[in-house]
Amino acid sequence: MTARESLETSLVGSPIERLEDAALLRGRGCFIDDVHEQGMLHAAFLRSPVAHGRIRAIDTSGARALPAIRAVYTAHDVAKFAKGSVPTIPLRLMSSPELVPFEQPVIADGKVRYVGEPVAMVVADTAAEAEDAIEAIALDIEMLPAIANRRAAVAAETLLFEKHGSNVAMHYEAAKGEARAQHTPYVRRERFAVQRHTAVPMETRGLLATWDGASARLTVKGAAKVPFSTRRVLAKCMELPEASIDLVELNVGGSFGVRGEFYPEDFMVPFAARTLGRPVKWIEDRRENLLASNHAREMDCELALACERDGTIVSLEGDVWVDAGAYVRASASIPPRSVAQSLCGPYRVPFVRITSHLALTNKTPTGTYRGPGRFEAEFFRERLLDMAARELGIDPVELRRRNLVSPTQLPYPLPTMTSPERRSELDSGDYAMALDRCLAEIGWRDKAALQGRLIDRRYHGLGVGCFVAGGAAGPRETARIMVEKDGSLAVYVGSASVGQGLETICAQIASDALRVPLERIRVFHGSTSYVSEGFGSYHSRSTAMGGSAILVAAESLGKRVRKAAAQRFACPREDITLGPELRAEHGGRSLALAELAGDGLSAEEAFSNAHITYSYGAAAAHVAVDARTGHVDVLDYVNVEDVGRVINPLTAVGQAVGGIVQGLGGTFLEHLQYDDDGQLLTASLADYMLPTASDFPNVRAVVLEHARSPCNPLGAKGGGEGSIAPVAGVIANAVASALVDFDVQPRELPLTPQRIWELIHDRERTTGSVR
């Protein structure tokens, strides 16, 4: 449906084509590297070539001597600027005092702790010359032993932070229930591991900072995801009032959680601009992106599932180890908390004790990546359920049905998290319905007989998994709607666009709420100058929070229109009726919005939320495994998810399918591999393998609107991170089902052909293997 046809029908729920598309299709988007400003200089970073060491000397004279070089900065310069010490990057969410010692300095300060850590910054006339100058800097580092994995971190023969007695920064606990039953008939203990991988958006990071000395204003373009939070941190580091910093969001080439958090470069580039009084641009190259943007997902666990003989779950206990990398960066507290809290999923688990441990290693720091902790938790738990089902002789689907929380049990308490304490509960939903729908979609009943059979050189298998995905994190989001002189509307929202179709969604919501046609609405998002306060896009919150804020602002605007019209008509406000396009009517007279616009009509409102919404669903896969090569063909993959309210079915399904394919990448292909010296071996897209168009053609997603969320006026649950979560568990279950005759039980990701081949041939993994 086009924008023109929009007035006739309700837009919310309609698969209208996106407003963003026309410009993007023409190549007329504006991404950060598309911006060219007068007098712009270019920054490049010298990054540590070793994983752990003490910086003895940095000789920048070779770089400074090059003609095109304007400045070279190290910790020494930053400390001078910042009154004595190099600022560190605070946690954005769920901070606690225990984590502060492990915050990353904005530039390496005395020590380097991971390959890729910024040690010096060069500013030059061109990007190529900046890169040339990097090679002219001489770095003298006293190498220290590298902590290459979490076991070495725990053993602590070397400390990353000498003042702290260990390499384990933090423990979190998810707890539920008073005391475990004394004796359960069945207990299954297992270890599982998920490999390090990450978001790898197609656009790398980039910033363009400009300092206007006359007005003492700093403008930073290239912001994403959480611009208001970034501004707050930058203001503190720069000792500037927030009001004199503008963070401007342009087109963003994907985030998936990784872009937009505060990184060292988010200080260094503005610092250079301010110091030099010239605009400074920095564009991350792909090698840097793989080395320096947040890594994610590396976790291993020891879990024990206890059940009755009929498969009724009694308890889930255990430990999860998170390999967090060398520093605790802005979003690092989320994955260890989330994995612990997500382990129960949509299942009834009376007793839970999960402890997650945040271990520091000499590798790139980590943070949130789409469905943080949930992808890992789903893999651990769904594998455990299938293994238990097999041993107990219960059909795996039946086992799940027996344990799914039923609608009458909602709201259902999730385990309580510590440090800081957070309680949450599953809000609304029919989990069994989603499972049934998923099984129907994949044709489970018809295909069940194929499991384990060898057809045409391949073994066939089916796998299933159920999930919930938390969204709509509070505390607030803000929207401002302004009436332009011609009566059209400008909608400003604090949510950030990372490519998910935010503008279209917001316009649909505003259009329906105010009965103004789409083409008379423009949406502005993300930049800090648009609203007084914003929180941004993470935790699948843009629709629920940003969209709800728009609804609240729309209501408020309606009130103001009434007030303004009442003054003109000299009548009570209650007597004004608002027609389509906010036309104010009273007793035969009417005023178009454009006529009232001169009065300066606008409304800015915040929507607050303290309750997490939970989208939920199930996923299933049909695979065929070549036992001789270990290659797995995904013949069919279905994700069914209830998101409460679908604003745009096109974008909702689009998000779901994109999430599935990312999940398949994480299951089969993607692996940030390090050697024992902490060197990243996969620092190019030739070695870090992303899914391509020919790898997973048979994926599909069904998006439902069954159970509205009670937590916001839209009834929307967050919908962008559900489909990625169950992928690994479902696929691994399908592979186990296919290879049942070989008694193959995948416990580690990625499921490379070699790993599957090794499981079949029962080889011992050598201790010297690359992790």
Site for other proteins in 203-242 (CB under 8 A): 203-204
For other proteins, give the closer residue by CB, 389 or 759.
759
Alpha helix ranges (H) inside 393-466: 396-403, 431-442, 444-447
Alpha helix ranges (H) inside 393-430: 396-403
Whole-angstrom CA distances from 7 to 12, 247, 561, 652 are 12, 35, 20, 22
Residue 405 is inside which H or E element, if any? none
Distance CA 541, CA 500 (A): 12
Task: Count residues near other proteins (CB under 8 A).
Answer: 81
Question: What number of other Cβ atoms are within 10 A of residue 333's Cβ?
Answer: 26
Q: Which of residues 693-722 bind other proteins (CB under 8 A)?
A: 693-697, 699-700
Minimum Å gap between C-beta 500 and other proteins is 6
Minimum Å gap between C-beta 268 and other proteins is 19
For other proteins, give the closer residue by CB, 70 or 113.
70
Minimum Å gap between C-beta 751 and other proteins is 12
Give yes or no for residue 754 binding other proteins (CB under 8 A).
Answer: yes
Binding mask 253-292 for other proteins (x = CB under 8 A): xx-x----------------------------xxx-----
Give the strand order in the sheet containing 313-323.
Answer: 186-194, 299-307, 313-323, 351-359, 168-176, 416-417
The C-alpha angle 650, 656, 658, rounded to 5 degrees, equals 100
Q: Which of residues 484-513 bind other proteins (CB under 8 A)?
A: 498-501
Judged by CB under 8 A, the stretch of 21-29, 174-182, 381-389, 739-747 that binds other proteins is 21-29
Structure tokens at 26: 């023409």
Give yes or no for residue 251 binding other proteins (CB under 8 A).
Answer: yes
Q: Which of residues 430-449 bind other proteins (CB under 8 A)?
A: none
Distance CA 725, CA 733 (A): 14
Cis omega (within 30 of 0) for bond into 475: yes
Give yes or no for residue 202 binding other proteins (CB under 8 A).
Answer: yes
The C-alpha angle 497, 502, 503, rounded to 5 degrees, equals 105
Minimum Å gap between C-beta 416 and other proteins is 35
For other proteins, give the closer residue by CB, 127 or 410.
127
For other proteins, give the closer residue by CB, 66 or 159.
66
Judged by CB under 8 A, the stretch of 161-169, 556-564, 604-612, 749-757 that binds other proteins is 749-757
For other proteins, give the closer residue by CB, 387 or 518.
518
Give yes or no for residue 735 binding other proteins (CB under 8 A).
Answer: no
Provide the angle, in degrees to the nearest 10, between the axes of the packed helices 502-514 and 548-569: 40
For other proteins, give the closer residue by CB, 243 or 770.
770
Minimum Å gap between C-beta 131 and other proteins is 5
For other proteins, give the closer residue by CB, 175 or 650.
650
Minimum Å gap between C-beta 157 and other proteins is 26
Distance CA 227, CA 110 (A): 30
For other proteins, give the closer residue by CB, 130 or 330.
130
Give yes or no for residue 21 binding other proteins (CB under 8 A).
Answer: yes
Give yes or no for residue 686 binding other proteins (CB under 8 A).
Answer: yes
Minimum Å gap between C-beta 133 and other proteins is 12
Distance CA 73, CA 363 (A): 24
Give yes or no for residue 38 binding other proteins (CB under 8 A).
Answer: no
Q: Which of 361, 602, 682, 737 binds other proteins (CB under 8 A)?
A: 682
Give yes or no for residue 37 binding other proteins (CB under 8 A).
Answer: no
Judged by CB under 8 A, the stretch of 29-37, 74-82, 597-605, 735-743 that binds other proteins is 29-37
Give yes or no for residue 65 binding other proteins (CB under 8 A).
Answer: no
One-letter identity of residue 369 = Y
Residues pairing with 606 in the sheet:
478
Q: Which of 684, 710, 741, 743 binds other proteins (CB under 8 A)?
A: 684
Structure tokens at 397: 């689907």
Question: What number of other Cβ atoms are within 10 A of residue 729's Cβ?
Answer: 33
Question: What number of other Cβ atoms are within 10 A of residue 243's Cβ?
Answer: 11
Q: Which of residues 116-135 bind other proteins (CB under 8 A)?
A: 127-128, 131-132, 135
Q: Which of residues 313-332 bind other proteins (CB under 8 A)?
A: none
Q: Which of residues 660-679 bind other proteins (CB under 8 A)?
A: 660-662, 669, 673
One-letter identity of residue 688 = Y
For other proteins, give the closer residue by CB, 513 or 759.
759
For other proteins, give the closer residue by CB, 62 or 713.
62
Spatial neighbors of 498 by CB under 8 A, at least 6 apart, are 224, 225, 252, 254, 255, 256, 259, 260, 537
Judged by CB under 8 A, the stretch of 407-415, 566-574, 686-694, 706-714 that binds other proteins is 686-694
Buried b (16+ CB within 10 A) or exposed e, 652-671: bbbbbbbbbbbbbbbbbbbb
For other proteins, give the closer residue by CB, 501 or 644.
501
Count Cα neighbours of 739 within 13 Å in the Cβ-side half-sphere: 24
Q: Which of 252, 322, 554, 749 binds other proteins (CB under 8 A)?
A: 252
Q: Which of residues 603-662 bind other proteins (CB under 8 A)?
A: 628-631, 650-651, 653-655, 657-662
For other proteins, give the closer residue by CB, 131 or 484.
131
Q: Which of 425, 454, 692, 741 binds other proteins (CB under 8 A)?
A: 692
Q: Looking up tokens 């994926």, which residue turns up?
A: 699
Cα 643 → chain centroid? 17
Distance CA 158, CA 156 (A): 5
Q: Which of 100, 181, 681, 710 binds other proteins (CB under 8 A)?
A: 681
Give yes or no for residue 201 binding other proteins (CB under 8 A).
Answer: yes
Spatial neighbors of 101 by CB under 8 A, at least 6 apart, are 161, 163, 164, 169
Q: Is 316:344 a contact under the CB 8 Å cutoff?
A: yes
Distance CA 105, CA 75 (A): 9
Give yes or no for residue 9 binding other proteins (CB under 8 A).
Answer: no
Minimum Å gap between C-beta 186 and other proteins is 36
